[in-house]
Amino acid sequence: MMFAARVIGHRGCAAHAPENTLAGLREAKRRGVTWVEIDVCLLGDGTPVIIHDATVDRTTDGTGSLARLDWARVSRLDAGSWFAPRFAGERVPRLDQALAEVTALGLGLNLELKTHADEGARLVAAVEPVLRASGLAASKLLVSSFDHSALGALRAAAPHTAIAVLYREIPLRWQITASALGAVAINASYRHASEAAVRSVKAAGLDVYIYTPRSPADVAHMWAWGIDGIFADDPEPFLSSN
């Protein structure tokens, strides 16, 4: 049974709106997406915010590492102008703001715990109460990370939250980690996923979601392997190829 969706908007709808913003969530919904993926990171003051990098340099008009910034500073940054003038004034959202928008739009969410240092436990301690308070249905939330210790901390804090283990390439011993975490899915790169690995995961009863093909042709052969869905910056070609 597929937990998430066949097509998941990556970082919202990153080809059509600034990534990891509320505008990106709305754009994903407008284009027919039912699930989105966004990244959550920790600021220096402990605020969980929706951003991918360890710094604000690439996706805002500010500079500096997240670890040295607080919400008062980050809340004033322009996170849209770099993408297109019409998104000028778009802000970096806090996690609670993003969850409220996801809920209002009726979307499912793959939330990636993005750690940039040895901060997995701290990130989970900040994120888990916000997730709990959001009221987002358990069937609408999948939490993933490359930081498997962070996923372990989440499993301890929130035993019923659905977890996806993130890999670049699915390793031979994937099942040890997935079983220890009680994972429902494996997320892996389309460039490195092998047929044998995908079939192994599917045989064990877990979902497989593949990131981030550029066109349906990139993963056309993988549907026969049993993959359940893909993450896409531009979801429309994948939606129309269903």
User: DSSP states of 100-156 as a string?
Assistant: HHHHHHT-EEEEEE--SSS-HHHHHHHHHHHHHHHT--GGGEEEEES-HHHHHHHHH
pLDDT at 2: 87
Report the alpha-carbon distance of residue 48 to residue 123 in Å, rounded.
7
Q: What is the chain's length? A: 242
Domain 7-240 falls under CATH 3.30.300.130: no
Give me the pLDDT at residue 235, please. 97
In this structure, what DSSP letter does residue 19 have? T
pTM: 0.97
Question: Could you list the pLDDT tens digit for every one of the 242 residues in the chain?
Answer: 689 999 999 999 999 999 999 999 999 999 999 999 999 999 999 999 999 999 999 999 999 999 999 999 999 999 999 999 999 999 999 999 999 999 999 999 999 999 998 899 999 999 999 999 999 999 999 999 999 999 999 999 999 999 999 999 999 999 999 999 999 999 999 999 999 999 999 999 999 999 999 999 999 999 999 999 999 999 999 998 76
Work out whether the CA dihedral 87, 213, 8, 172 comes out positive or negative. Answer: negative
